[in-house]
Amino acid sequence: MTVQATNTATQWLSGAGLRPTRQRVALATLLVGDGQHRHVTAESLFANVQDMGESVSLATVYNTLRAFCEVGLVQEVTVDGSKSYFDTNTHDHPHFYWEDTGTLSDAPADQLKITQVPDAPEGAEIASVDVVIRLRRK
């Protein structure tokens, strides 16, 4: 971890009102330390933090990602109703899910046109609309 990456991560956490604990800073550094957006699973982030030599349990990774979601630092994108990816780009945008590699990437938002969605049932409101476009290689 570079000092700059750690500082970026610490500022990211503090800006959201989260205390920058050692474990949170390690995970945040992997997520935003270089300024690039990421799509990660808890398992891939756990493997990356282990590669850094940090002592963080998988349960802590899950709990930390949930905390990041709650304060709006990352958004959860669910694929197949069972696999969750966490995206550091929290603006509304569609995703490509690559079936052959099990990876998620951003799709061009300017090419997506949603002209109408169904009305929410009585007593409910639409919280968001997630668009995941499943791809496979030809």
Predicted local distance difference test score (pLDDT) of residue 6: 87
**pTM for the model:** 0.88
Whole-number Å distance between alpha carbons of 84 and 79 = 6
Tens digit of each residue's pLDDT (9 = 90 or more) over 101-128 = 999 999 999 999 999 999 999 999 998 8
User: How many other C-beta atoms lie within 10 A of the C-beta of residue 33?
Assistant: 21
Predicted local distance difference test score (pLDDT) of residue 43: 96
Amino acid at 98: W
Whole-number Å distance between alpha carbons of 20 and 74 = 16
pLDDT at 1 over 70: no
Tens digit of each residue's pLDDT (9 = 90 or more) over 53-106 = 889 999 999 999 999 999 999 999 999 777 899 999 999 899 999 999 999 999
Across 17-32, average pLDDT:
94
